[in-house]
Amino acid sequence: MAALLVWGLLWTAPLTSSAQTDDTHRRTPLVRAIENCQFSVVSLRGQKRVASESHLDNGEQVRHVNGMGTGVVIDPRGYILTNFHVVEEVNQIQVTTADRQTSPARLLCRDPVTDLAIIKVDRIDGLRPIKLGTSSDLMLAETVAAVGNAYGYEHTVTTGIISHLRRTVQINENQIYENLIQTDAPINPGNSGGPLLNLDGEMIGVNVAVRVGAQGIAFAIPVDQAVEVAARMLARINDSQVDTGLQVVTRYSREVPALFISYVESGSAADAAGIKIGDQITSLDGVEINRALEWERGLLEKRGGQSIRVSVHRNSTSEVELPLLARQKLASASSSPIETLAWRTLGVKLAVASEAEVSGRHPNYQRGLKVVAVRPSSPAELERIQVGDILVAMHGFKTESLENLGYILNLPDLRQNQQFMFYVLRGREPYSGQMRLATTGTELK
């Protein structure tokens, strides 16, 4: 298999002179598209420590390696989407904007499977969310542009066409990308995490890889996939803070996204207000929304005790005010550190199951931990773990007590985001699956 390499991106386009008017032939759609996204794309630099073999004493030494990449702004408060491989194990992420503002950033959430991550900067003004397109209606030979930190040359613009759609690309034994956009727009080291744009200036992909040794073969993650992953990552942050009693999902009809209710918690304020599964959400706090990403953006930095105004459409549109509950109430102040850790990383509240609840269900398991609550959008919820399930094993260890669970959750390989098997009893049948621990906020390095 030919070698493939994942790379970062950066772009360097000078601001257009005010003397140049729209009636010249030079101000093409591509020129206007790049102008409109200049404050939505940032350059990333960082340094990571890597182990290397010493030729002198055959011992392992640590060396510092400089890295570069690109990010796209998804919220003006400093939330930036990029590739996980750009910021993985980077000691300090430095963000630079088109107008030369710089600020350190911290890693908030990551999804290694899709190679996406969200970072946050706090001291940069004028950030604008990237304009989102859709990857559902892309055309072969459609003109596109890549913007990013190519070889450290910040805000570099390159152009090309869409060469193919829905490519599966294996980078190495551990990383396989599916459903990629293939383009011949030049992508170089530093381009990873930057946008692939259409001529309307909309992001239709996140640049991620290039075929080593080939000319004009590069790849991008489709934007529809990328923004849904970004929404799930932001949901981890929001769900650690507040409870809305709702879950949402983006659906497309004729390439147009719309946002629908996928879950209503029984007894919640949303339930009491008559909100039903299948209702469409059209606005949040007066802002029109049509994607899960926009819903999660609207909840960012909200706190328990506040409320949100939601416009809901069924046969007609009505506006509902919903109070937000502090998520910490679900994991009470009396919770043990292990219970709190399980809630944050697995998304479950657990209690020791009684002998009667476990007895006779399975010959190999006599004890376990009963699931009494599941956090929305958590790893447990995504793996369809339900209230009433009995967790009996994780990562090859039995979970007969909270102490057992605490030992497992603190294993280094799980902390390093390794996927692990779990087993629960549901009725008399075992139910198994695989998951990774969630990490949010200050729990991340």
Q: Domain ranges in the chain?
A: 1-18+26-220, 240-324, 330-443
d(CA 45, CA 328) in angstroms, rounded, equals: 35
Name which of 21-30, 78-87, 214-223, 419-428 the model is least confident about. Answer: 21-30
In terms of pLDDT, which residue wins out, 333 or 283? Answer: 283
In the chain, the amino acid numbered 24 is: T
Percent of the chain with pLDDT over 90: 49
d(CA 41, CA 197) in angstroms, rounded, equals: 11
330-443 placed in CATH 2.160.10.10: no
**Which of 339, 362, 423, 356 lies closest to 389 in space, CA to CA?**
423
Q: pLDDT per residue over 236-249, tens digit each? A: 788 778 888 888 98
Question: Is 115 in the active site?
Answer: yes
* Secondary structure tally for the chain: helices H, strands E: 10, 27
**Which of 348, 293, 288, 346 lies closest to 313 in space, CA to CA?**
288
- In the set 85, 135, 155, 279, the catalytic residue is 85
Q: pLDDT per residue over 72-102, tens digit each? A: 999 999 999 999 999 988 878 999 999 999 9
- In the set 40, 43, 115, 240, the catalytic residue is 115
In terms of pLDDT, which residue wins out, 372 or 445? Answer: 372
pLDDT bucket at 442, cuts 50 / 70 / 90: very low
Q: pLDDT per residue over 129-175, tens digit each? A: 999 999 999 999 999 999 999 999 999 999 999 999 999 988 777 77
Which of helix, strand or coil describes residue 173? coil
d(CA 125, CA 357) in angstroms, rounded, equals: 56
Which of helix, strand or coil describes residue 39? coil
Residue 7: pLDDT above 70?
no
**Which of 6, 113, 87, 49 lies closest to 418 in space, CA to CA?**
113
In the chain, the amino acid numbered 445 is: K
Percent of the chain with pLDDT over 70: 86
Q: pLDDT per residue over 260-314, tens digit each? A: 998 888 888 888 989 999 999 999 999 999 999 999 999 999 998 999 999 999 9
Residue 94 has phi, psi (to 5 degrees) of -110, 125
Residue 55: pLDDT above 80?
no
Class of the CATH-defined domain 1-18+26-220: mainly beta
Beta bridge partners of 159: 145
Cβ count near 403 (within 10 Å): 11
d(CA 87, CA 44) in angstroms, rounded, equals: 9
d(CA 123, CA 94) in angstroms, rounded, equals: 12
First and final CA of the chain: distance in angstroms? 34
Which of helix, strand or coil describes residue 189? coil
| CA 232 to chain CA mean position, Å | 6
240-324 placed in CATH 3.20.20.70: no
Question: Is 75 in the active site?
Answer: no
Q: What is the pLDDT of residue 120?
A: 95
Domains 240-324 and 330-443 share a fold: yes
pLDDT bucket at 207, cuts 50 / 70 / 90: very high
Question: Is 64 in the active site?
Answer: no
Which of helix, strand or coil describes residue 37? helix
Cβ count near 311 (within 10 Å): 18
How far lies 355's CA from each of 359, 360, 367, in Å? 6, 9, 7
pLDDT bucket at 231, cuts 50 / 70 / 90: very high
- In the set 40, 43, 192, 311, the catalytic residue is 192
Residue 40: pLDDT above 50?
yes
Cβ count near 50 (within 10 Å): 10
